[in-house]
A and B are shown apart, each in its own frame.
Chain A
């Protein structure tokens, strides 16, 4: 006799399997020994109840995660690393509250403390990735729900928990943490030698607020930023688009019309810069996150990455085209070239008679 599972049981099973990470309908069908159609229907119900999210739908591949799944972009992350990350973040929140009379730390502070611990204790093997606001663990936790999250995801205390708590307390007391998000970020950018590009991004953001002296402040920083974009093939798109952005930026700020409508131009320039930044740092994230050994998980991750990139480039290309179109009707004065610039122009125009 076959014991048929009722709807509630199947949905419980689905939610339980999804604790391990993103799963396709096909995979969930195998795990629950149910048909594809049954699982699909239950997932649609769970979706309506906001218990799951569909993160990918490509051809026949439909992938779901639990609504509370803590890994960025719903990516699959090794269970041990995920749980240790959750544990660390939750304990940082507890310790902060204990040291600061119940004050709840903001997410940035929690993440920055976690990254410092990961840096000082490489043996913990914690995953650290670069993202929009610097280095973080690729796991998100709401400070108010931290303890519940540990229960929901069956996170048990690691063997070296005492040692970890000691490291946390030491970092909170001695790490100059202020629980002010922008200060926490800046401190990290200054401490880590490989984060110059983040410091430059902050400077550009700051200069954009100082509209009166934008030109003088920003031109050099915009060039410096160009130097910090990696040379590898993965970043080729960004090097090209940023180069276009840089060219449009230079043209606009050198134009005779810039001062008259400075505010509007600045707004557009910063908007384009931010789009590039968001996408570039997403690329940093995927690079640091690394690949998956499991074939299906590898395919899921690859598709999430591809989808994210495609949406980004569509927006960036559109904005850059608009910015470059200013070249058609803004006017600039003739420039006197320096000796080096004359040499560069001479070389660039060599062989022009054969063009």
Chain B
């Protein structure tokens, strides 16, 4: 089987000490790979993962501003425009955790240790588990991507990743593996076939499986 990995599989696998079902399932899925192949698109490796990592760094700088400068108005720095609502919720938790640590230098050390370890685990995951990198970013079909983006999901990252998956599937069969039941659906993929010209080019649509159901 050729599995086309969503980014959440990598982030789920590198998780530390969390007993959520989804994490356990992800780790078990990866560890039982055996003769299967894992396929990753260039977009995730070269664009989406670095951007996710960068958001984490922006979050940390925001935390730092909030804890060291009482006159700082939260999220007033321009770079905060890159943060998502979810990031802001995480910042709230991290600020309260940081406030329990007296030595501010220790907070930086802790965060940098975590960041470095996340980077290391991602790199290790790709080196050890990814068998093929597919669809260079500049080869993503913009029409396919736009169709997905405009009509199916208001999420550029998902649109590019799914477009890569559909393109790859029409070259060589893959099965998409994800944890995102909300956005990555069979119905969503089928919408591509409502566009006649896209249906002609991408006659086959890949199967989606959810890590939770394995």
Interface positions of A (Cβ within 8 A of B) = 219-220, 223-224, 226-227, 230-231, 233, 236, 239-240, 243, 246-247, 250-251, 254, 327, 332, 334-335, 337-338, 340-355
Using CB atoms, name the residue of chain A closest to B123. Answer: A327
Residues in A whose Cβ lies below 8 Å from that of B78: 233, 236
The segment from B11-19, B35-43, B186-194 that touches chain A is: B11-19
Say yes or no: A355-B11 contact (C-beta < 8 A), given A227-B108, A231-B65: yes
The segment from B89-97, B165-173, B199-207 that touches chain A is: B89-97
Residues in B whose Cβ lies below 8 Å from that of A219: 109
Q: A247-B57, A343-B97, A345-B15 are in contact. List 8 more A-B contacts (CB 8 A).
A: A219-B109, A224-B105, A246-B112, A340-B97, A341-B114, A348-B59, A354-B86, A355-B11
Q: By the criterion CB–CB under 8 Å, are A345 and B68 in contact?
A: no
Q: How far apart are the CA atoms of A203 and B115 in the complex, in Å? A: 26
Residues in A whose Cβ lies below 8 Å from that of B56: 348
Using CB atoms, name the residue of chain A closest to B119. Answer: A327
Partner of A335, one of B76, B105, B120, B157: B120
Partner of A346, one of B16, B104, B115: B16
Contact with A along B67-101 (1 / 0, CB 8 A): 01100100011110000001001100110010001
B198 within 8 A of A: no
Q: How far apart are the CA atoms of A345 and B94 in the complex, in Å? A: 10
Q: How far apart are the CA atoms of A343 and B48 in the complex, in Å? A: 24
Q: By the criterion CB–CB under 8 Å, are A344 and B94 in contact?
A: yes
Residues in B whose Cβ lies below 8 Å from that of A233: 76-78
Report the contact-size class of chain B (Cβ under 8 Å from the partner): 35 or more
Partner of A344, one of B22, B65, B114, B120: B114
Q: How far apart are the CA atoms of A233 and B73 in the complex, in Å? A: 11
* Chain A interface mostly: helix
Q: By the criterion CB–CB under 8 Å, are A345 and B16 in contact?
A: yes
Q: By the criterion CB–CB under 8 Å, are B105 and A223 in contact?
A: yes
Using CB atoms, name the residue of chain A closest to B181. Answer: A353
Using CB atoms, name the residue of chain B closest to A334. Answer: B120
Say yes or no: A240-B8 contact (C-beta < 8 A), given A337-B117, A340-B101: no
* Chain B stretch 15-60: residues in CB contact (< 8 A) with chain A: 15-18, 22, 48, 52, 56-57, 59-60
Partner of A349, one of B15, B61, B108, B109: B15
Q: How far apart are the CA atoms of A346 and B19 in the complex, in Å? A: 11
B150 within 8 A of A: no
Say yes or no: A354-B117 contact (C-beta < 8 A), given A243-B57, A349-B14: no
Partner of B110, one of A230, A344, A350: A344
Residues in A whose Cβ lies below 8 Å from that of B101: 340
B197 within 8 A of A: no
Q: By the criterion CB–CB under 8 Å, are A335 and B117 in contact?
A: yes
Q: How far apart are the CA atoms of A355 and B49 in the complex, in Å? A: 10
B179 within 8 A of A: yes
CB distance from B126 to the nearest CB of A (A): 12
Q: By the criterion CB–CB under 8 Å, are B118 and A227 in contact?
A: no
CB distance from A15 to the nearest CB of B (A): 44
Q: What are 12 A-B residue pairs whose CB atoms fall within 8 Å in the complex?
A: A231-B64, A239-B64, A239-B65, A246-B108, A335-B116, A341-B117, A345-B17, A349-B16, A349-B118, A350-B89, A353-B11, A353-B179
Q: By the criterion CB–CB under 8 Å, are A250 and B16 in contact?
A: no
Residues in B whose Cβ lies below 8 Å from that of A246: 108, 112
Q: By the criterion CB–CB under 8 Å, are B97 and A337 in contact?
A: no
Q: By the criterion CB–CB under 8 Å, are A353 and B22 in contact?
A: yes
Residues in B whose Cβ lies below 8 Å from that of A342: 16-17
Residues in B whose Cβ lies below 8 Å from that of A340: 97, 101, 110
Q: By the criterion CB–CB under 8 Å, are A332 and B72 in contact?
A: no
Partner of A348, one of B65, B90, B180, B211: B90
Residues in B whose Cβ lies below 8 Å from that of A251: 116, 119
Residues in B whose Cβ lies below 8 Å from that of A343: 97
Residues in B whose Cβ lies below 8 Å from that of A250: 112, 116
Q: By the criterion CB–CB under 8 Å, are B93 and A355 in contact?
A: no
Residues in B whose Cβ lies below 8 Å from that of A345: 15-17, 114, 117-118
CB distance from A95 to the nearest CB of B (A): 41
Say yes or no: A243-B61 contact (C-beta < 8 A), given A220-B105, A233-B78, A348-B114: yes
Q: How far apart are the CA atoms of A352 and B179 in the complex, in Å? A: 9
Using CB atoms, name the residue of chain A closest to B76. Answer: A233
Using CB atoms, name the residue of chain A closest to B108. Answer: A223
Q: By the criterion CB–CB under 8 Å, are A231 and B69 in contact?
A: yes
Residues in A whose Cβ lies below 8 Å from that of B110: 338, 340-341, 344
Residues in B whose Cβ lies below 8 Å from that of A347: 90, 93-94, 97
